[in-house]
Amino acid sequence: RLILGGNHISHNGLRQLGNFLSNRVSSLEMLELNFVYFSSGGLRAFFEGLQDNPQNAPKHLNFADTDLYDYDYLNPTMVISEFLLRPNCSVERIFLENQDFQLDDEKLEIFVNVLGTNHTLKELAIDADDTFTSNGWNKLSSVLCNATSIGATYASNHTITRFGRNPNQQPDTVRHFLEMNTH
């Protein structure tokens, strides 16, 4: 466990941290970057540092309460999604609670596309349960259990057990599918 919370880390510092973690023989279980001030460009630099060995990324990434500002016009949702789509990405939990960037159906769809192919992510904790419409929730529901065919159901994401922050604000179908994945 590496705790770096409460710091201001430059793009270069984040890239170097990613490079360091990428070159480790054994993976770090958890990296806490909560209460850290950096941009989505800095986040991209961190993930670029990990690109050679994404399997060496920490299993748990805590970006909660991070001032993840977006002055460099990079969508934080896209930056995180690009990393999660890399082959051999082994991240299991990402915590993004209390972020300033707004999540909506369009950004939910980006995460839904990730969940269609990433089968290592178990938890994506974000503050957005009340910002998605029924259309957005339906897209998430379909990736959790695509009932169009037996093969599609089999290929659905049966790994993720937590999406969002408050299950009580999620539609019953989404909550049901997430609960099924815990067993």
Q: What is the pLDDT of residues 111-136, one digit of tens each?
A: 888 888 888 899 888 876 567 888 88
Band (pLDDT 50/70/90 cuts) for residue 100 is low
Angle CA 149–152–154, to nearest 5: 110
Q: What is the pLDDT of residues 48-70, one digit of tens each?
A: 888 777 777 888 998 887 766 66
From residue 95, give the alpha-carbon distance in Å to each of 134, 143, 166, 172. 23, 20, 13, 23
* Model confidence at 71: pLDDT above 60: no
Provide the β-strand partners of residue 123.
93, 162
Cα(43)–Cα(25) distance, integer angstroms: 23
Distance CA 117, CA 43 (A): 22
Whether residue 20 has pLDDT greater than 70? yes
Going by the DSSP 8-state scheme, the letter that residue 73 receives in this structure is: -
Coil, strand or helix at 75: coil
